[in-house]
Amino acid sequence: MSTDDRHFPAIIAFGLWVLLVHASCGLGDAQGPALCESTCLTANDGVCDDGGAGAAFDNCEYGTDCNDCGERFAGEAPTAPLSVAPVCDNTCPHAHDGVCNDGSGQQSFPLCSPGSDCADCGPREDIQACENDADCGLWHICGLKGRCQEPEFEDHTEHLPLFEREVRAGDLTQAAFELPAGVSSAFVVIEAASSRDGLTLQRVFDPRDRFIFDAEAPENDRIKVFPRESGGQLVIYLHNTPDLTLLAGEYGLQFTTTWPTEVRASVLVKRLPREPRGARLQVNLWFADDTLVDADNAPYDTNFQLALRELRSLYARKRINIHRVTYQNLAEGHARALSVPQGVDSMCANMRDALSETTLPGVNLVIASHFASGGLLGASCGIPGIPSWPGLSRSGVGVAGYLIFEDPQLAGHVMAHEMGHYLGLFHTTELDGMNFDPIHDTPQCTISYDTNFNGILSADECAYRGGGDNTMFWTLPSSDAFTQKKTSPGQRHVLMRNPMVETY
Alpha-carbon span 159 to 99, nearest angstrom: 34
Q: Is the pLDDT reported for residue 280 higher than 80? A: yes
1 and 476 Cβ atoms separated by less than 8 Å: yes
Query: How confident is the model over 37-89, as pLDDT tens digits?
Result: 888 766 776 667 787 876 766 667 888 889 888 889 876 676 544 444 567 88
Q: What is the pTM of this model?
A: 0.77
Alpha-carbon span 128 to 497, nearest angstrom: 31
Percent of the chain with pLDDT over 70: 86
How is residue 260 annotated by DSSP?
-
pLDDT of residue 135: 77
pLDDT of residue 110: 61
445 and 438 Cβ atoms separated by less than 8 Å: no
pLDDT of residue 293: 95
Q: Which of the four pLDDT bands, split at 50, 70 and 90, describes residue 27?
A: very low
Once rounded to an integer, what is the mean pLDDT over residues 97-102? 82
Alpha-carbon span 447 to 462, nearest angstrom: 10
Alpha-carbon span 250 to 247, nearest angstrom: 9
Once rounded to an integer, what is the mean pLDDT over residues 252-281? 95
pLDDT of residue 409: 95
Q: Which of the four pLDDT bands, split at 50, 70 and 90, describes residue 107?
A: low
Kind of pairing between the strands at 363-368 and 279-287: parallel
pLDDT of residue 375: 87
Query: How confident is the model over 195-205, as pLDDT tens digits?
Result: 999 999 999 99
How is residue 349 annotated by DSSP?
H
pLDDT of residue 139: 77
Alpha-carbon span 351 to 336, nearest angstrom: 12
Of 370 and 130, the structure prediction assigns the larger pLDDT to: 370
Once rounded to an integer, what is the mean pLDDT over residues 274-285? 94
pLDDT of residue 57: 67
Query: How confident is the model over 450-488, as pLDDT tens digits?
Result: 999 999 999 999 997 889 999 999 999 988 878 999 999
3-class secondary-structure state, position 263: strand
Alpha-carbon span 236 to 185, nearest angstrom: 11
Residue range(s) of every CATH 2.60.120.380 domain in the chain: 156-271
pLDDT of residue 180: 93
What is the rounded end-to-end Cα distance, in angstroms, of the chain? 31
Alpha-carbon span 117 to 95, nearest angstrom: 5
50 and 61 Cβ atoms separated by less than 8 Å: yes
Percent of the chain with pLDDT over 90: 63
Q: Which residues pair with 291 in a beta bridge?
A: none
Q: Is the pLDDT reported for residue 17 higher than 50? A: no
Of 102 and 504, the structure prediction assigns the larger pLDDT to: 504
Alpha-carbon span 51 to 135, nearest angstrom: 11
Which of 133-142, 358-367, 486-495 is predicted with the least confidence, judged by mean pLDDT? Answer: 133-142
Q: Which of the four pLDDT bands, split at 50, 70 and 90, describes residue 12?
A: very low
Taking the alpha carbons of 431, 435, 439, 441 in that order, is the dihedral positive or negative?
Answer: positive
Q: Which of the four pLDDT bands, split at 50, 70 and 90, describes residue 125?
A: low
Query: How confident is the model over 291-340, as pLDDT tens digits?
Result: 999 999 999 999 999 999 999 999 999 999 999 999 999 999 999 999 99
CATH code of the region 156-271: 2.60.120.380
118 and 62 Cβ atoms separated by less than 8 Å: no
Tally the residues of the chain: 504
Alpha-carbon span 251 to 206, nearest angstrom: 5
Distances in Å between the Cα of 291 and the Cα atoms of 5, 13, 310, 328 are 22, 34, 19, 13
Q: Is the pLDDT reported for residue 189 higher than 90? A: yes
412 and 309 Cβ atoms separated by less than 8 Å: yes
Respond yes or no on whether the N-terminal peptide bond of residue 384 is cis (omega within 30° of 0): yes
